[in-house]
């Protein structure tokens, strides 16, 4: 059930592995404890003892530990009091939702809120999880046909994620049930990466490979003794291998962003600092292209929830495009401003160039993989056609939006709307 990788032979790791193998049991038992907290009145020490006992039980070899019903009963019998059920649910790292006989949400932990937008206590689970397999899971458990069940559930949008979802009753006759979502996206990622690679890379890599093969043939045959041609061909071959390497890098980073689970809650990004360092890192490219980068940052703190490395890549890709494709404009402006626009207060980061711009019909499409307005200019600029797809994926994970405005001949403006918390 969990990824017990090879080479875990030292003691601590073995325990950790066992713990993780038994985490379902642990989760179920913790929930039993939780139910007791809700429905009986007991003291905190007993709870601490019970939890310690659970942890110990989870450390036992798997077979000995597989007695969920007994463990639950024992704890319930001793009774508990004044424990925050929310703390317990919060201690479970996987999304966890407790619901009642009518599939109404009673409690959802922070991981569940982070994973599934728009959850609220009182909401009906069967309205929120509409996929046929989830409906069947909920119907089965609520009708009392089974006490516990599990299905694989894939959410395609906004970001593809696959879960092993298990549902079970909580304690004895509490009228409560629990869903726990174990994220399996990482495990699926390898499969997906292989499929993606075949679908995208094989096609894109074929052209540079064919050209390298052609030059090798020429170098061994007609150009064997032509020093000038040899140098020129080797240069072209080097460009081609560079291109292949960039393509592989971009594909891997796209797969990584696509398959990474939702953002962990709590991390924050200082936009001012992040964007300053993006501008610094692209200084040489801008200089080479004769582009001046201007800043227009709003005053005050410019902080949003998010992952710094990911947002760094977003602004780097956008600014790089502006310097490359908007080169003829001679300058690029980067602005950060507060946005009160509509329902989502936050910050707008706009990267504007004064180059040729993008024709209207291409704008909706340029975030698609490998979509290039002009294949030749993308190639000479060392592009892969993946930069904006990476941007889009990262922004989706951040609940952010990208809007593109352009007038042909006057330049292009890419605006990222980042919601504040």
Q: Out of 93, 123, 151, 219, which residue is the one contacting other proteins (CB under 8 A)?
A: 123
Q: Out of 34, 51, 83, 322, which residue is the one contacting ligand ADP (CB under 6 A)?
A: 322
Assign residue 263 a region (left: φ > 0; alpha: ψ between -120 and 50; beta: otherwise). Answer: beta
Q: Where are the beta strands (DSSP E) in 290-392?
A: 292-297, 303-305, 331-339, 346-353
Site pattern 335..354 for other proteins (x: CB under 8 A): -------xx-----------
123 binds, among ligand ADP, Mg ion, other proteins, none (CB under 5 to 8 A by kind): other proteins
Which letter does DSSP use for residue 281 in this model? H
Alpha-carbon gap, residue 421 to 345, rounded angstroms: 9
Nearer to ligand ADP, 94 or 310 (CB): 310
C-beta of 412: minimal distance to ligand ADP in Å? Answer: 4
Question: Cβ atoms within 10 A of the Cβ of 320, count?
Answer: 20
> In angstroms, what CA-CA distances link 372 with 37, 163, 192, 390?
59, 35, 24, 14
Does 329 sit near ligand ADP (CB under 6 A)? no
C-beta of 50: minimal distance to other proteins in Å? Answer: 36
Q: Out of 163, 233, 257, 325, which residue is the one contacting ligand ADP (CB under 6 A)?
A: 325
Does 135 sit near other proteins (CB under 8 A)? yes
Q: Would you call 99 helix, strand, or coil by DSSP? A: strand
Q: Out of 109, 321, 350, 389, which residue is the one contacting Mg ion (CB under 5 A)?
A: 321
> In angstroms, what CA-CA distances link 41 with 32, 48, 80, 84, 405?
14, 15, 6, 12, 61
187 binds, among Mg ion, other proteins, ligand ADP, none (CB under 5 to 8 A by kind): none
404 pairs with which residues across the strands? 414
Site pattern 377..416 for ligand ADP (x: CB under 6 A): -x----xxxxxx-----------------------x----
Alpha-carbon gap, residue 312 to 253, rounded angstroms: 13
Q: Out of 67, 370, 381, 399, which residue is the one contacting other proteins (CB under 8 A)?
A: 370
135 binds, among Mg ion, other proteins, ligand ADP, none (CB under 5 to 8 A by kind): other proteins
Alpha-carbon gap, residue 136 to 219, rounded angstroms: 65
Nearer to ligand ADP, 230 or 362 (CB): 362
Piece in contact with other proteins (CB under 8 A), picked from 125-133, 169-177, 289-297, 311-319? 125-133
Residues 226-255 that bind other proteins (CB under 8 A): none
Which letter does DSSP use for residue 284 in this model? H
The residue among 177, 179, 138, 185 whose CA lies nearest residue 24 is: 179
How far apart, in Å, do the first and last CA atoms of the chain sit? 35
Piece in contact with other proteins (CB under 8 A), picked from 29-37, 107-115, 127-135, 176-184? 127-135
Which letter does DSSP use for residue 161 in this model? E
Contact positions toward ligand ADP, by CB under 6 A?
A: 317, 321-322, 325-326, 353, 355, 358, 366, 372-374, 378, 383-388, 412
């Amino acid at each position: 059930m969990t990824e017990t990788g090879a080479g875990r032979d030292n003691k601590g790791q073995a325990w950790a592995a066992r713990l993780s193998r038994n985490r379902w049991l642990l989760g179920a038992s913790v929930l039993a404890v939780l139910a007791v907290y809700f429905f009986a009145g007991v003291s905190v020490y007993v709870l601490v003892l019970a939890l310690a006992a659970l942890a110990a039980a989870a450390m036992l070899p798997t077979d000995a530990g597989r007695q969920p019903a007994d463990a639950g009963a024992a704890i319930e019998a001793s009774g508990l009091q004044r424990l925050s059920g929310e703390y317990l649910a919060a201690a479970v790292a996987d999304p966890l939702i407790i619901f009642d006989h009518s599939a109404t949400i009673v409690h959802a932990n922070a991981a569940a809120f982070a994973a599934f937008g728009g959850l609220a206590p009182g909401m009906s689970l069967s309205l929120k999880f509409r996929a046929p397999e989830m409906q069947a899971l909920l119907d089965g458990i609520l009708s009392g046909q089974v006490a516990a069940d599990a299905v694989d559930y894939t959410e395609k949008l906004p970001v593809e994620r696959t879960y092993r979802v298990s549902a079970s009753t909580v304690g004895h006759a509490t009228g409560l049930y629990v869903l726990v979502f174990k994220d399996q996206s990482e495990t699926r990622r390898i499969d997906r990466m292989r499929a993606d690679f075949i679908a995208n890379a094989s096609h894109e890599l074929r052209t540079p490979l064919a050209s390298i093969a052609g030059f090798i043939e020429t170098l061994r045959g007609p150009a064997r003794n032509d020093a000038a041609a040899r140098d020129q061909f080797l240069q072209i071959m080097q460009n081609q291998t560079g291109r292949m390497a960039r393509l592989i890098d971009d594909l891997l980073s796209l797969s990584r962003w696509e398959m990474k689970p939702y953002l962990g809650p709590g991390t924050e990004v200082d936009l001012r600092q992040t964007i300053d360092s993006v501008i610094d890192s692209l200084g040489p490219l801008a200089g080479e292209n004769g582009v001046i980068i201007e800043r227009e940052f709003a005053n005050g703190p410019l902080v949003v929830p998010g992952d710094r490395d990911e947002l760094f890549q977003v602004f780097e890709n956008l600014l790089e495009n502006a310097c490359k494709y908007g080169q003829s404009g001679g300058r690029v402006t980067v602005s950060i401003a507060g946005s009160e626009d509509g329902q989502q207060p936050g910050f707008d980061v706009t990267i504007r160039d004064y180059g040729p711009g993008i024709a209207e019909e291409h704008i909706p499409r340029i975030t698609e993989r490998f979509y290039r307005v002009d294949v030749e200019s993308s190639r000479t600029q060392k592009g892969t056609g993946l930069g904006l797809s990476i941007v889009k994926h990262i922004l989706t994970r951040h609940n952010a939006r990208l809007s593109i405005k352009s007038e042909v001949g006057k330049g292009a403006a890419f605006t990222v709307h980042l919601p504040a918390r």
